[in-house]
Structure 1
Amino acid sequence: MLAPTHYPLEYHDLRLVLALVRGGSLAKAADLLGQDVSTVFRAIQRLEKALGTRLFDKPRSGYSPTPLAEALAAQAQQAEQALARARQHTLGGEQVQGCVRLTCSEAVLQALVAPALGAVLEALPGVELRLHGGPGFANLSRHEADIAVRLCQQPPQHLVGRPLATVPFVLCAHPRLLQGDGGGAPPWIALEEGPGEDPTGDWRRQHFPAARIAHSAHGLHGVAQLARAGLGRALLPRWLIEAPLQVLDEPTVACASTLWLLMRPDCRHIPAVAKVFEGLARHFTTAANH
């Protein structure tokens, strides 16, 4: 509980706390605020001193918010949303401004998301996109991103989700692995264990229990690259099958995933995020019907 204090909280204090809750580290909070790390460090020290209480614990893993910091961050989110709505009203009409942070894997970005973003953002000239499309995933629950496009069987229930398409996987390999040179069954390339887009592991273990995993990669794009190099057979979406890979005859009907568009619930009230979410949903729905 916060002890009585005469310090008058300002909006910039709330923004500071919210950025550190979302980022979980000084570096990420500084990036969100457009400031340097030392400025953020001094600011949070001053705020804690002014309030007479800790706002964050500091374990090795980063900055962990206290209950007070979480309460202030919730108030900051409400203020942020109210400010976004007010700005939209002053701009008039459908013009929307703001920053939207979107995360997806490199494979999904290249094949599916990037082609959609051009049309969506062209209609929203006031929206700035911050894209996380590399290895690893920005985490919606930790407020590292606003929108995510994920391949998964079932997304977390606390997120706002919309299924965009069913993505079947097929078994493929380099032609030289299929020439029957007597060396036994070709080895496999697998996705590394972890969160994200892997509907293939259970299917492989069920249909090929003795499969030898020779290599692994952090994402589907990496699996495809290793398969094209002839290092093993792999399960991939058809849009990642390129020469010299050949699709094998083994049926993989049961091996499929779903492409999900996901958003944090609090983002439904932020106009820029909501508009990008709806724009992407419309794009994929239109594409699926043609």
Structure 2
Amino acid sequence: MNWNDLRFFVAVAKEGTLSGAARCLGKDHTTVSRRIEALEADLGAHLFDRLATGWKLTEAGENLMPAALRIEDDVLVFERQAHGDETAHGVVKIAVPPSAGRLLFAPRLAELLRDQKNLEYEILGSSVVANLARREADVAVRMVRPDQSGLIVRKLVELRYAVYAAKGYTERVPKEKWEFCADGRNTFGDYQQGWVWDTLDKELPVRIKADDTATVQAFVAAGHGLGLLPRYMADEDDRLEVVADDSLAELSKPVWLVVHPDMRRSPGVRMVMDALIKASDSIPAAYKS
């Protein structure tokens, strides 16, 4: 039996479809199907019922799943410890929010890459939280403190926010016609909204919600209302002006550095962590609390 086929078995069982497993594994769906068929042939067992709605584990598959998960966990531990003992070369997977990664951390990481010729980066600039235990990333920068146990977590910085509008918007548009562009993720919560309404002394209609800050910024810059934006982004945009500053840093948001304990010993990961910490230290004082 090819032990690598267990990865395909676990992925299909978790995702429930070939396409979902293929995305998870970075393979095409025909490869996934072929590997499952090979595993079934080796074991002499029918592991999945191929249904119109997806692939469902058979009784035999259900019985094998706990053992497959234990083997997968052992393999992941083996990989993390092996990578943790490497010298400073190879690929370091870095999960970082797109805007913060591009504006705050990329310059410092580029310096490290220039100095360390044997290092490579794989940047995962997605809002999806990478699973460090499964080595989806080696080190992560997160805007929300992780609640997963067993991870090493360090606060990098607290980022300040302010309410912005396109230059001239508050003069052109009567206050009773102001609108608000909101970050539709959990980052714009009841407290933040209440602060904005109290500060402006007005509850604004919200007709636009976006799932990333850059899109909110683009709509605000185009003249569609006000938006609550991080200062490190909006202060650098000459199309915008501050309408209300969070001078007491009541809305500041922490940024967290997260790494799995097994990867902390990797020279490459340690260098990346140091670079991220130095990048945070070098953020202008006006942008952090």
- TM-score, normalisation: structure 2: 0.74
Within 2, Cα distance between the matches of 1:215 and 1:252? 26
State the one-letter code of the partner of 2:124.
H
- Which sits farther off after the overlay, 110-119 or 14-23? 14-23
Matched, 1:121 2:120: no
Confirm or deny: 8 A CA contact 2:165 2:240 kept in the other structure.
yes
Question: Match for 1:258: what amino acid?
Answer: P
2:181 aligned counterpart, secondary structure = strand
Q: Which amino acid aligns with 1:276?
A: V
- Counterpart for residue 27 of structure 1: 22
CA distance in 2, matches of 1:63, 1:121: 45
Indicate the percent of aligned positions where both proteins have the same amino acid. 24
- Indicate whether 1:131 and 2:123 are aligned: yes
Aligned length: 266
Q: Distance between the aligned counterparts of 1:178 and 1:286, measured in 2?
A: 33
Q: Secondary structure at the match of 2:80?
A: helix
1:98–1:126 contact (8 Å) kept in structure 2: yes
Distance 1:277 1:107 in 2: 18
Counterpart CA distance in 1 for 2:254 and 2:241 is 23
Q: Give the alignment of 1:215-230 within 5 angstroms.
A: 215-230=208-223
Give the deviation of 1:211 after TM superposition: 2.8
C-alpha distance in 2, partners of 1:70/1:45? Answer: 19
1:208–1:119 CA distance, 2 compared to 1 (3 A): same
Deviation at 1:229, TM superposition (A): 0.6
In structure 2, give the amino acid aligned to 1:80. E
- The CA distance in 2 between the partners of 1:62 and 1:128, in whole Å, is 37
- The TM-score with structure 1 as length reference comes to 0.74
CA contact (8 A) 2:160 2:231 kept: yes
Q: Which residue of 2 aligns with 1:257?
A: 253
Match of 1:240 in 2: 233
Counterpart amino acid of 2:42? A
Query: What is the deviation of 1:224?
Result: 0.9
1:111 to 103, 106, 112: 103
2:155 to 155, 160, 163: 163
8 Å contact from structure 1 (residues 189, 214) kept in 2:
yes
CA–CA distance in 2 between the matches of 1:17 and 1:142?
Answer: 19
Please tell me whether the aligned partners of residues 20 and 29 of structure 1 are also in contact (alpha carbons under 8 angstroms): no
Task: Structure 2: give runs of 5+ residues left out of the alignment.
Answer: none
Deviations 1:190-248 (A, max 9, x none): 00134xxx256522224517331121211111111111111011111112121221112
More relative contact order, 1 or 2 (CA 8 Å, 6+ apart): 2
Q: How far has the Cα of 1:255 moved from its partner? A: 1.0
Partner residue of 1:175?
Answer: 167
- Distance, in Å, in 1 between the alignment partners of 2:83 and 2:169 is 56
Question: Structure 1 residues 130, 82: closer, same or farther in 2, change over 3 A?
Answer: same
| Match of residue 131, structure 2, among 126, 131, 140 | 140
- The answer (yes or no) to whether the contact 2:166–2:240 under 8 Å persists in 1 is yes
Query: Does 2:181 match 1:189?
Result: yes
Structure 1 residue 164 displacement after superposition: 1.0
Letter in 2 for 1:202: Y
